[in-house]
Structure 1
């Protein structure tokens, strides 16, 4: 019998954990009205790196101390997809059902910021706000969040898997 662990099971487990962590970070960010605070972006990135490392190390441990580069990329990509699905669904749900005014408040802050810079005309600011409103639809927000998380996770996995991989001396074992 083959006792090789499943990359999918490991990725699903850690993707769900990371998704819940990102939901908690997002909830704190929304409840404290800190959506422009870069600290939350750093927390999100740090959590993603930590969970990718933990997932790949767990798989390597379960696999007798070995993990190929492609297995690491697979774990990272699936973990990121699960995380993106959970966190994007929560953000969309929050923005549509719980607090539909959050996007309007963000748009007002963005307008104030552009006006304070003083290097754009009123027409340019209005045009920028018009484009921003088009990109705030729930469907676009969900898709952008999902694919943004997948891309970021995959790029991080390219780096992390290179350090965590450990190939067998004989690939036919």
Structure 2
């Protein structure tokens, strides 16, 4: 009987690679001031999806070509958690230690986008930004980063696993 590949080691490997890729891309976005640009920040989802596909594909290969949806989702959640810890920790360190002015830049970009909408008054914009600043503490930023990564990872890995699954033939 063959041993199953270790989901923990694969999650650490691909979560680490994905996390580092997210750190590099985040650094690029911070440097060019593109954190408020939704088109540029959407590429993060592509990076996560690629990391999950590669991790799930390696698991399937090591598992004799077989993959269940549960195995894929479990591996995807762990992979996303590892990459979320890495990228969230970096984001907190970057915005609190390396360049604290990034938060203000992002708020200014968000304010400019909100001002473009004609249906919002200045008071509503100020109130919305005040509420969003309450959620920008390093602890909450780290926690929401990890939880968001896991949620996205579970959803993506569910889709990826459904596409990549292969059932074993009936052994009896």
Q: Mark yes or no: TM-score above 0.5.
A: yes
Quote the RMSD (CA, aligned, Å): 1.6
* 2:19/2:86 contact within 8 Å kept: yes
1:167 aligns to what SS in structure 2? coil
Quick one: distance in 1 between partners of 2:122 and 2:67? 56
Matched residue, 2:111:
111
* 1:66/1:166 contact within 8 Å kept: yes
Quick one: distance in 1 between partners of 2:129 and 2:38? 22
Q: Which segments of 5 or more consecutive residues in structure 2 lack a partner in the other structure?
A: none
2:13 aligns to what SS in structure 1? helix
Quick one: distance in 1 between partners of 2:44 and 2:126? 31
* 2:33/2:105 contact within 8 Å kept: no
TM-score after normalising by structure 1? 0.92
1:131 aligns to what SS in structure 2? helix
The 5 Å alignment of 1:3-152 reads 3-152=3-152
Quick one: distance in 2 between partners of 1:113 and 1:42? 17
Superposed CA offset, 1:90-131 (max 9, x none):
000000000111101211222233233332222212211211
1:109 to 1:40, Cα distance in 2 relative to 1, 3 A? closer
* 1:25/1:40 contact within 8 Å kept: no
Superposed CA offset, 1:110-157 (max 9, x none):
223323333222221221121111111111111111111110010011
Quick one: distance in 1 between partners of 2:153 and 2:146? 11
Quick one: distance in 2 between partners of 1:170 and 1:97? 56
TM-score after normalising by structure 2? 0.93
Superposed CA offset, 1:63-107 (max 9, x none):
111122111111100001001100000000000000111101211
Deviation at 1:48?
1.3
* 2:35/2:41 contact within 8 Å kept: no
